[in-house]
Amino acid sequence: MIAIVAVDRNWGIGYKGDLLISLPEDQKGVFRKYTAGNTVVFGRKTLQTFPGERLLPKRTNIIMTRNPSFEKEGAVIMHSTEELAKYIISHKKEEIYLIGGAEIYNTFIDLCDRAIITAIKAEFTADAYFPNLDEDPAWELENEEPEIMSEKGVAFTVRHYVRK
């Protein structure tokens, strides 16, 4: 599985249930580029941040929730690490992306062998964080793409990490 996330300089990813900043170049040029046509895994709270709680198009949407009665038409609903791990094993040929939120990232990062990090060159007020892969000896930076300046006036790079 591959974690994909945008982080600020402090590895912050959200504040009060929303993204720190929405960068169109990241959403279209990075997130959509990698996840379209693949499987995405996210939490129920993340679904609530999607416009109209609509599933992401052209993707298999897996929603993780502890609520055994939760249903969402068109989505695959899972309730445990074991359930997700079995899915990953049985779908080895698929690209499966972990897309948030913070609790989901922190719970399932150990199932990931790669990470695509949009590193925003700014700091924001945050209350949700992604694990700092630069400080985790289990991860190493494989490569970094050239810097992009967003129309929002914030620069970012896309960093590719691999589990050692």
Nearest residue to 17 (alpha-carbon basis) of 42, 48, 61, 54: 48
Cβ burial of 45 (10 Å; 0-12, 13-18, 19+) is middle
Residue 5 resides in a domain: no
Overall domain count for the chain:
1
The domain that holds 143 is classified in CATH as 3.40.430.10
50-101 pLDDT per residue, tens: 999 999 999 999 999 999 999 999 999 999 999 999 999 999 899 999 999 9
Residue 88 resides in a domain: yes
Residue 38 resides in a domain: yes
27-57 pLDDT per residue, tens: 999 999 999 999 999 999 999 999 999 999 9
> What is the enclosing helix (H) or strand (E) of 71?
none
Residue 143 resides in a domain: yes
Domain limits for position 105: 13-129+138-152
Q: What is the dihedral of CA 93, 88, 97, 1, to 10 degrees?
A: -90
Residue 1 resides in a domain: no
